Amino acid sequence: MKRFALAALAAVMGSLGPGPAMATDEGSVVRGGRLYDNWNTESKNRSPNEPHPAFAVKGSAVSTADTWRCSTCHGWDYKGKHGYVGIRNRQGADPTAIVALLKNATHRYGGLMSEASLLDLANFVSHGQIDTPKLIETERRAKTNVASYEEFYGTICAACHGSDGGRLREVAPIGDVARQRPHEVLHNLINGHPGDVMPPLSALGGDFAARMLSYVQTLPSRSMSVSIAHGARMYDDWQVETSAQRQSLPHPAYPPKAHFAADAPTTWRCKECHGWDYAGNQGHYATGHHATGIKGIRGMAGADPARIVAILRDGTHRYDAVLKARDLLDLANFVSAGQINMNAAIDQRGRARGNGARAEAHYRTICATCHGVDGQRIITAPPLGRMARTNPWEGLHKIANGHPNEKMPALRKLDQQLLIDILAHLQGLPETR
């Protein structure tokens, strides 16, 4: 009798199947939300090396990896993006049917995600979508005293993000992100961040998350000048600036017959291909040991930093594998808004178009503490007079932005003619010790 009862119970449990139980599992739903955001990060699997076959947006700055993210096509408001339909019409649908869609010839996730992950993602699509535009607009009109959420933020979020939202290099300052991409941040507040320990707030309700979003939107921005100067030092040598491990293999895009092909760390420096004058094969690096035939970055001046970030992450540059999100954004900000007009500052003979005498006091007070009055105090570097004559473009770049991972001040906020005058003063210092 006992064996019959157990068999009967097993038959009943088997007939129920995993669908209804899993569909109401909040843990499954929020994990599905993180998979929707970035499934390969959440599941620690690599996305394919080719763009998703269904992604056919011409001229898009979307990286190859991002074409495989659900959020790229279906949007953070779940209404669709880049001309693709959203997932709103799948709310309340049978998760099993959604899993079948995820495996079909259009989506092709069957061989990329486990069955458990596919079911979690389906549970999110069916049970986890919220009306983000409505929540954000309702909260905006309610004019809630968001300052009251400072203590929630300070106790739940600040341990990782810092009280000002700018502690993590993995993300841009979250105040800026919340103002620029509120739907994405609301999604993350409710579901957490892929592959990370960020606590999902779904159990506290959408209204709570929307109010938290409103508070986060009050957090300060990072200074654009600080971002650009850091990005310029990354352009110089990001491995030194970030204290990263030096690369052991040459950059895949560096020409194998170029002079520094055997010096792996050098091949990963942006300046090594694009030049100190930012002109690449059309500038000072057109010939000589540093010649690679690769074009410069001048054409990207004024471009959307998001587009530049996508280029930095593409199959040619591959910097998403070695740089944090904040570093990529800072580098993009430099390329977009921080390039110096080197032709206006330095003539064809390499002489600064400035007056060194005008900058003597500035050099002796701002620079000489480290470099010495004659520019020779730092014995691990060549005399400043020699550097300024042989490579004035590097000199001006560093006067404006500082040296990677050093305490050298970045002077880019001063009048640019003064920086050129400082370079002219350096060119008057002795070349030999």
pLDDT score of 354: 98
User: 270: which 2 tokens?
Assistant: 């942006």
Nearest Cα to Cα of residue 307 among 331, 276, 332, 275: 332
**Tokens 């994990």 identify what position?**
31
pLDDT on residue 147 = 81
Residues of the chain with pLDDT under 50: 1-23
Q: Where are the alpha helices (DSSP H) in 49-147?
A: 70-74, 95-103, 115-127, 132-142
Answer yes or no: are the C-beta atoms of 230 and 398 closer than 8 Å. no
Q: Which residue is listed with tokens 């300070």?
A: 154
Report the distance separating Cα 348 and Cα 187, nearest Å: 53
| pLDDT (0 to 100) of residue 143 | 66
Distance CA 50, CA 63 (A): 10
* CB neighbourhood size of 12 (10 A): 9
pLDDT tens digits, 34-91: 999 999 999 998 889 899 999 987 767 788 889 999 999 999 999 999 999 999 999 9
231/410 Cα distance (integer angstroms): 12
User: Residue 8: what pLDDT?
Assistant: 37
CA 247, CA 231: separation in Å to the nearest integer? 19
pTM of the model: 0.79
Half-sphere exposure of 374 (CA within 13 A, CB side): 9
Span 198-229, pLDDT tens digits? 999 999 999 999 999 999 999 999 899 999 99
Residue 206 sits at the vertex; the CA angle it makes with 203 and 211, to the nearest 5 degrees, is: 115
CA angle 38, 117, 12 (to 5 degrees): 155
What local confidence, expressed as pLDDT, does residue 222 receive?
87
